[in-house]
Amino acid sequence: MGPKDAAQPSPIEVMLQMMSGFWVSRGIYVAAKLGIADHLQDGAKTAAEIAEATNTHADSLFRVLRMLAMVGVFEQKNDDKFVLTPLSETLLTDSPVSLRPGAIAEMGEVHYAAWGNIMHSVKTGEIAFDNHFGMDVWEYFETDPEKAQNFNKYMAKSSESISQAIVESYDFSKVQKIIDVGGGLGGMISAVLRANPNLSGILFDAPSVVEKSKEFLAGAGVAERCETIGGNFFESVPSGGDLYTMRWIIHDWDDEKSVTILKNIRQVLPENGKLLLLEAVVPASGEPHFSKFMDLIMLTMTGGRERTAKEYETLLAKAGLKVTNVIPTNSFMSIVESVPA
């Protein structure tokens, strides 16, 4: 056994490694934005070859790729060539669980500017994004369709593995009609409908989102069983479902706005109906959990928050709903089930 200080990094080394995470994340953004992984899909290439294909500066690109290779995102071969690794394969555009849209949104575009302004949130409690851009994120997406499209792809891609975990963790056999409120392009409701052929559904979201969802639902093979309705869940939600679902919606909003949405669902929820909130429920203890990272995204981006099971009970009670179960899944997400109180 060697000396203890030789086996374990010092606090300074650990802190420097944490600080370097910012540099790595920016490098990942560059790789994702330029589609570097796609260019390496057919085999090893030099930085000069990739630079020519991506219209970038060869030496500068080499330096970024060399740094990313050091942390395993790529592998450096024969000094000047790079190949894919399991990490960079997650940045392939056509990967079923591609993180490329997320890396672009989180580390280079929409989220990046808000994180740069996080001190404003800490000092004032206000939303860093709104303060930086002079509008909320949903208004911003209306002004920049390209970034909105990338964000929607991010949500659809990120929902695939999570949706599967939800399908495996909840019994939908007694449900007749599911209404997914704020369902985006339809990733979640598609997974549920595919796994439950006798179930029909409604995808409800903003009109601009719903219009884009039709192609996604058709591609998923569920368009014939899934109606699409555009609207505003702060005003009303469609009636007719015996199960209502919301995935990653309530965490976007503060308590007051959340209660407004929940009351609109309670108004149309039949007495034997159920509401499922699919959220990253924060553990009441101090244990590590991804929800604690996501909570800061909500702080900087939307003014919402991740909540504990107890906080969800309190929130839902204000809307006339009672929590009946909090069901863990094989992901960091949980299912908060509630019924009319």
DSSP 3-state assignment of 83? strand
Burial string for 289-310 (b: 16+ CB within 10 Å, else e) reads bebeebbbbbbbbbbbbbbeee
Which residues 6+ apart lie within 8 Å of 58 measured at CB?
A: 47, 48, 51, 52
* CA-angle at 34, arms to 213 and 87, nearest 5°: 85
* Active-site choice (57, 111, 120, 251): 251
DSSP result, 191-251: HHHHH-TT-EEEEEE-HHHHHHHHHHHHHTT-GGGEEEEE--TTT------SEEEEES-GG
DSSP state of 97: T
Whether 39 is a known active-site residue: answer no
Q: What is the DSSP letter of 134?
A: S
- Do the bridges between strand 334-340 and strand 321-328 make them parallel or antiparallel, or are there none, so unpaired? antiparallel
CA distances 74 to 31, 59, 63, Å, are: 10, 17, 12
Of 332, 301, 325, 309, nearest to 138 (Cα)? 301
Q: How far apart are CA 194 and CA 88, in angstroms?
A: 30
Catalytic residues: 251
